[in-house]
Amino acid sequence: MLKIAIQKSGRLSEGSLDLLKDCNVKFSKGKGRLVTPAQNFPAEVLFLRDDDIPQYVEDGVADVGIIGENVYLESKRNVSIIKKLGFSKCRMSLAIPRNQEYHGVEFFQDKRIATSYPGILTDFLEQKGLEADIHSISGSVEIAPGIGLADAVMDIVSTGSTLLSNGLKEVETVLKSEAVMVGNKSLDATKKQILDQLLFRIDAVLRARGFKYVLLNAPNENIAQIIEILPGMKSPTVLPLAEQGWSSIHSVLDESDFWAIIDKLKALGAEGILIVPIEKMVI
């Protein structure tokens, strides 16, 4: 039985639940339940506060857990990062009052900086050879300069609108973070085997998320050129259409490329282009 810890409710919950669902690990999320067994996989899911997960994984209360890289780094717990999961992406930045001039990171020397992540900030300042006065506070960090508690803040930024509405501007990125799976460092052989099974599924799901399946119709004389820009997993599938001189071409595309490629395909006479999500991809 593999014990998997995920965030009970918050910005990691949906992504964590979706990932387990896409891996076909089914369980009922009973209201207020702390732990629930999976119905079709040798695992149990624990619902916890994200900040508690590193310690629980280190102690072996949970075997693996899904948390933000930022929480992993801040916790300094003895657990290993098993896999980056590609969701709940955010950055942690230093911000200062908007009306202050900023010429570089030396600005922060001897300043008072408010943050909920003193560990990450200490490491960053040390790396830059700077010393500052770190004020560790647990919520609403962005109001600290306004009330005279600090000269700057270091916090999670997604759009920057919270900073803006508090009269702050973002001046340095300290860290980029995404959800990661962390694991206990001494799992026994049985647990390792279950984890490998889960990781195999996670790989298939994550790989599929980056790709789309493309189907299109094209005049036969342009097939060769179209195939050149549509490499596919091995090579694209080409099937004759009922209409003479036309074929249907199927392939797999990296999602990030697809707009550029779609234009080229259209220029080569492709019609009826369908872009379909891929659920799992095993190579």
List residues binding ligand ATP (CB under 6 A): 7, 10-12, 49-51, 68, 70-71, 88, 90, 156, 158, 177
What are the CA-CA distances from residue 193 to residues 63, 107, 180, 190 (Å)?
12, 50, 20, 5
Per-position x/- string for 214-253, each x denoting binding to Zn ion as judged by CB under 5 A, each - no binding: ----------------------------------------
Is 50 a binder of Zn ion (CB under 5 A)?
yes
Q: Which is nearer to ligand ATP, 72 or 107 (CB)?
A: 72
Partner from Zn ion, ligand ATP, none contacting 88, C-beta within 5 to 8 A by type: ligand ATP
Partner from ligand ATP, Zn ion, none contacting 93, C-beta within 5 to 8 A by type: none
The residue count of the chain comes to 283
CB of 144 to ligand ATP, least distance (A): 17
Is 8 a binder of Zn ion (CB under 5 A)?
no
CB of 178 to ligand ATP, least distance (A): 8
Q: Residues 8, 13, 35, 51: which binds Zn ion (CB under 5 A)?
A: 51
Q: Which is nearer to ligand ATP, 61 or 90 (CB)?
A: 90
CB of 141 to ligand ATP, least distance (A): 11
Q: Angle at CA 278, nearest 5°, toward 24 and 228? A: 150
Sequence-separated (6 or more) residues with CB below 8 Å from residue 21: none
Give the neighbor-by-neighbor strand order of the sheet with 90-97.
Answer: 133-136, 112-115, 152-157, 90-97, 168-177
Partner from Zn ion, ligand ATP, none contacting 150, C-beta within 5 to 8 A by type: none
Is 13 a binder of Zn ion (CB under 5 A)?
no
132 close to 109: Cβ distance less than 8 angstroms = yes
Q: Which is nearer to ligand ATP, 70 or 247 (CB)?
A: 70
Is 55 a binder of Zn ion (CB under 5 A)?
no
Measure the CA–CA gap between 87 and 49, rounded to whole angstroms. Answer: 18
Per-residue HEC secondary structure of 187-229 comes to CCHHHHHHHHHHHHHHHHHHHHHCEEEEEEEEEHHHHHHHHHH
Is 52 a binder of Zn ion (CB under 5 A)?
no
CB of 172 to Zn ion, least distance (A): 23
Q: What is the CA radius of gyration of the chain?
A: 24
Three-state secondary structure call for residue 105: helix
What are the CA-CA distances from residue 175 to residues 124, 157, 195 (Å)?
9, 10, 28
Measure the CA–CA gap between 185 and 199, rounded to whole angstroms. Answer: 16
CB of 49 to Zn ion, least distance (A): 5
CB of 10 to Zn ion, least distance (A): 7
CB of 226 to ligand ATP, least distance (A): 39
| CA dihedral sign, ordered 104, 105, 108, 114 | positive
Q: Which is nearer to ligand ATP, 90 or 130 (CB)?
A: 90
Partner from Zn ion, ligand ATP, none contacting 68, C-beta within 5 to 8 A by type: ligand ATP
- Residue ranges binding Zn ion (CB under 5 A): 50-51
